[in-house]
Amino acid sequence: MNFQHRQSLAAAWGSGTLSSSDGQRFPVTVKARNATALPRYFGYGRGLTHYTWTSDQHALYGGEPIPSTERDATYVLDEIVDNETELPIDQHTTDTAGHTELSFSLFDLVGLQFSPRIRDMADQRLFRLDRSIRYQHIDPPFSGTLNRDLSLGRWDDLLRVAGSVKMGWVTASLLIGKLQSYRRQNTLMRALQEYGRLIKTIHIVRCLDSPEHRRAIGRQLNRGEQLDNLRRFLFFANEGEIRRLQFEDQTTQVLCLNLAANAIITWNTVYMAEALDAISAESVAVDHDDLAHIPPTLWSHVNIYGKYNFDAGSRRSGLRPLRQGSAASA
């Protein structure tokens, strides 16, 4: 991850400050405790979800197996807070399944910007701070009024929650799961949701006002989809089925799959940079803006079959020569 972040070509795809997360479902053919039935994806069988986190430089920096029936929003903050790479992530996006008002509040409280792509955004309810305030041209969507006293009255508690998540004393998924398990919402939960409504309203207004912001969110989510396709290609053993019972073994499988995908991404990045240098040496102009549209997620040159031996004590000196001629030009 750090090596990829330092590549000059990776900077053409992003600065490492934006990331996204998404779930990818796989069937489970053993009696695993966390495998669940979801006929839409698994038919009459059971399965689970590989939830992964992707940087804007086309690299995976986290992943974990989660039940397919649980909403992604429960886990979306986990790997971002635990990020140990050099990526300076300060903004994160998901699709609609990855957001709740609780997610908006927790992201803001730990100092991060949450920018999900929300389906049917025009139908979302927006909140104003004061019922007497009127907004020219956009007043109709603001049908709700925030209860400021609820959030301000529990502000110290909200900061304690943020500190606990930020310092790693509790994972965000465990905290969210506990808060949502109560039969009746307690005051802390309602205060977090009320604060989340404010942050969500600001996010929606920004999306409606800035087409470029919406496009940036869409581009990042597309990067995650491209990496999902690569991971699906690499997950060929056992016909793409999960056959691990224990959560620890399932987690290892997720991370090993991420490692293989990152190795291909990094290899592609290095050799794409060499190819661009060779093109530039022939006095061919390379538009820097075009590089952003050349993803390193190609795999047609990858042979996934056979056995591979890696000697950690030996290192290749230099790179393989680039293919030249008509084939390379094509």
Report whether pLDDT(315) > 80. no
Q: What is the pLDDT of residues 173-217, one digit of tens each?
A: 999 988 888 766 788 999 999 999 999 999 999 998 999 999 999
pLDDT in tens, 67-81: 999 888 999 999 999
The residue-averaged pLDDT of 244-262 equals: 94
Crossing angle for the helix pair 247-281 and 211-234, to the nearest 10 degrees: 110
Buried b (16+ CB within 10 A) or exposed e, 304-320: eeeeeeeeeeeeeeeee
How many Cα atoms occupy the beta-carbon half-sphere of 240 within 13 Å? 12
Tell me the domain boundaries of the chain: 1-98+210-304+321-330
CA 230 from centre of chain? 15
Confidence of residue 325 (pLDDT cuts 50, 70, 90): low
Give the HSE-up count for residue 169: Cα atoms under 13 Å, Cβ half-sphere.
Answer: 7
pLDDT of residue 173: 92
Confidence of residue 327 (pLDDT cuts 50, 70, 90): very low
Q: What is the mean pLDDT of the chain?
A: 89
Rounded to whole angstroms, the Cα distance separating 60 from 262 reads 6
Higher pLDDT, 54 or 120: 54
- Res 328 pLDDT > 50: no
Residue 254: predicted pLDDT: 95
The answer, yes or no, to whether residue 128 has pLDDT greater than 80, is yes
- Distance linking the first and last C-alpha atoms of the chain: 31
Give the model's pLDDT for residue 330: 35
What is this structure's pTM? 0.89
Digit-coded pLDDT (tens) for 256-307: 999 999 999 999 999 999 999 888 888 788 887 888 889 999 999 898 888 8
Which among 279, 269, 267 is positioned nearest to 324, based on CA atoms?
A: 279
pLDDT interval class at 138 (50, 70, 90): confident
Contact partners, residue 256, CB within 8 Å, separation at least 6: none
Q: How far apart are CA 119 and CA 76, in angstroms?
A: 18
Least confident window among 88-102, 230-244, 312-326: 312-326
Half-sphere exposure of 297 (CA within 13 A, CB side): 23
**188 in Cβ contact with 136 (< 8 Å):** no
- What pLDDT, on a 0 to 100 scale, did the predictor assign at position 318? 77
Segment 94-98 shows an average pLDDT of 89
Evaluate if residue 6 carries a pLDDT over 50.
yes
Q: In percent, how much of the chain has pLDDT > 90?
A: 65
What phi, psi does 143 have (nearest 5°)? -95, -10
Q: What is the band of 326 on the pLDDT scale with cuts at 50, 70, 90?
A: very low
